Amino acid sequence: MKFGVVVFPGSNCDQDAVDALTLMGQPVVKLWHKDHDLQGCDFILLPGGFAHGDYLRTGAIARFSPIMNEVIAHANRGGYLMGICNGFQVLAEARLVPGVLLRNLSQKYTCKNIYLKPQSSSVLVSAGLDKEQPLKIPIAHGDGRYYADADTLKQLNDNDQVIFRYCDETGAITDAANPNGSLENIAGVANERKNVFGMMPHPERAADPLLGNTDGRLILEQLVTSVLA
């Protein structure tokens, strides 16, 4: 399994993603946004940051970067694709996952540790995680409020496409634990085919013991284990 991390102008978590995957012994390369070649990668990751300065809308310009033609084709063939934070916003702009990411209700950029509760039992990134164990994961975003219409929300829930929800340290999914106003505390979703998934929190920033938190590694290890199974 070979991972490719796409780098847009303004990406700032690409090296974090590379380092986290390397720690787990996975081969990984960086893919420049103007490239047209995925270099034989089996799994593509769109990292966090501020692609193209977040001008127009977050992810709106990055969605039209040349490499996205190959990324979209890869996903349409059933290839695995994940977006984290800004990468999630790019996925939403490209209509590769349902819903949109709006400005935080606080109208402020938020950078802190929050807690997540794994939800989906059928999406590989969360399927094998303990559904009762809250995970402490960093967030860093100003436009992380997940929104979708009522029909889309129903489909997401009926089809087990919600992969994480914001919760408190006890695992309770409450309004107080919601850092940005996302509908139903949604922190991550998958597409209907369940080969594309996006999440706002940063598991790659909580994967190295030197950082004092390895809850994010549980998510990445689950992902790698499931893909290789």
Annotated catalytic residue within 33, 52, 74, 204:
204
Query: What does the block give as tokens for 145?
Result: 């409020």
Structural domain boundaries, residue 94 = 3-228
- Cβ neighbour number for residue 76 with a 10 Å cutoff: 13
Residue 86 and residue 92: Cα distance in Å, rounded? 10
Let me know if 204 is a catalytic residue. Answer: yes
C-alpha 85/C-alpha 201 separation (Å) is 6
Say if strands 162-167 and 110-118 run parallel, antiparallel, or are unpaired.
antiparallel
User: Considering its fold, how many domains does the chain have in total?
Assistant: 1
Active site residue 85: yes
User: What's the CATH code of the domain at 9?
Assistant: 3.40.50.880
Whole-angstrom distance between the N-terminal and C-terminal Cα of the chain?
11
Output the tens digit of pLDDT for each of the chain's 229 residues: 899 999 999 999 999 999 999 999 999 999 999 999 999 999 999 999 999 999 888 999 999 999 999 999 999 999 999 999 999 999 999 999 999 999 999 999 999 999 999 999 999 999 999 999 999 999 999 999 999 999 999 999 999 999 999 999 999 999 999 999 999 999 999 999 999 999 999 999 999 999 899 999 999 999 998 887 7
**Looking at 13, 33, 41, 85, which residue is catalytic?**
85
